[in-house]
Structure 1
Amino acid sequence: MTIFDLLGENMAIKSAENYRQLRKQGITIRKTADVIIASFCIENNLPLLFSDKDFVPFVTYLNLLRA
């Protein structure tokens, strides 16, 4: 099993940048954890399997890979 460090200083900054970028598009992500998870996957080029609609803007605007 691989264990990832989801939130170092750089990931916190990138998560905030992604949140602000979506806000500029008029999109509010309801859960901080969703922003962190999506940002981690984007930065590490990892696909994310999800059913939560909050991840769709990350796919549409920030190139999150959908599994």
Structure 2
Amino acid sequence: MILTLSEWFFEFGFVIPDSTNTWQTLIEAAPESQMLPASLLSGNVVVETLFYDDDLLVSTSKVRLFYD
């Protein structure tokens, strides 16, 4: 079963053609009292990133997270 916890949408506006651009995201953790145990989350969290040029999907990446 796949459950979407949250989604974020960003618009960059104009980007210079053939330029190189970077993206950085910082996600802050919830207070410890609201966190699920790492043993429950490990291997069950997938971060999926999609990049579009207007309606054209140009890149997709998926990362599955494991915790020690």
TM bin (shorter chain): under 0.3
Q: TM-score, normalised by structure 2?
A: 0.20
Q: TM-score, normalised by structure 1?
A: 0.20
Higher relative contact order (CA 8 A, sep 6+): 1
Computing the radius of gyration from Cα coordinates, the structure with the larger value is: 2
Determine which structure has the larger helix proportion and give its number: 1
Determine which structure has the larger strand proportion and give its number: 2
